[in-house]
Structure 1
């Protein structure tokens, strides 16, 4: 392509490489209207360059013309399907147009297929955009976009939370390994310890600067650990707090129902089962005993 030449306003011949350098300088100086003129001149002379097409897309993007920006992203990808920055730009356009799922799907594709080739600048751009969704759509990201979750280290966070949630199981394992004589002496003390720990966890969770839905999720997670350890009263305490935050949360209603059934509080469990939008047959079986 570098053998194509054109002339400037003084009649001096300008090579394709010089035009590309001129375009790069205009982009660095944020002279987007001038950059579009340079790209148009390149095309007029038959110069088709994926990076130049991307610069046109970015110039339209910075001018707020998302429709033309999208068209030039398509032109870029037609020449070079693996053009990572073009895909990142397209994802940003989707997000700005409130097509969140489309934007996240594109980011997922980029991170799944081109993570190893991302430049430091690309990674900074991704972090700048995706950090917001890590804070507002953490569960959705972990469930539906594993590559994004890995990039944002949400998969590690989930693993740590799960480990924390089921720490009470370690106490149960220790009890099983105790000699029978010691087990009898420690049962009442362990139950009291678990209830104190449940109260401490409740205060810690309620004091966190996170959304109510996240507090409900954390309370349920820790309650699950106590439930598996057989500490049903401790689990009930945490779930009661969760219902105080959201009395209609299906997950909490179900978990509290199973806990009440385990405690022998069948009437209370049935009342909760009746509040659920969809009957849980497993819970009804547990209540029936």
Structure 2
């Protein structure tokens, strides 16, 4: 458990940096095309890692049945849809506003895991999940009223896209947990399956709406691919050890990392409130770890 918590925290930092990079370097890219390009680079970075367990992965792939194919397919599709919706949301809205809304994933993961898998959490862990999710609310809060974020979200297309993306990510997170724990798919097989699967799902849309020019952005795309390869590897390790209802809130504190980067590097508003959110996130993670 302790090892999984550490891996999940590092994954949150990696994904938080990735969100900032997406907004800064690729704001003009069509979402599907950008995802396919980054996943292609990520796969190239990850293949040497996957090759270290090639024989075991081949055996596991050969033993895939209907259940493995179904769960993997659903997870891949939900991941692809969630990420495209998130890209569309940050294209229309501020990172510091959209990202926290998108990262309320744990509030959807917890009931799904309890109902479907019968996961049992201690009272402190439940409080930790709530506090970590509250951190996301605070990061999204604009002075003007307690319910202002809800009113704003109800009338904001970026917020609506981010919320829909969060729901898709919740299904994806549960699928990862089932694939890696109940179905025992090897971690170094799972990452390539996810990267390739998402790229294949989005490839038709990417072909219909390609980016205008990518040559000048190849170094940034390679860097983004490296971040994704690292992030997916760490996320996979975390979900292979931890319940989804614990791994998800920790990894989704990436919202706080992205917001803090936005405050420091972009001078975004209400930075002190964002720091309060960061403290709440740490408290939530600590309670989950107890």
- TM-score band by shorter chain is under 0.3
Higher Rg of the two aligned structures:
1
TM-score, normalized by length of structure 1?
Answer: 0.24
Q: Which has the higher helix share?
A: 2
TM-score, normalized by length of structure 2?
Answer: 0.24
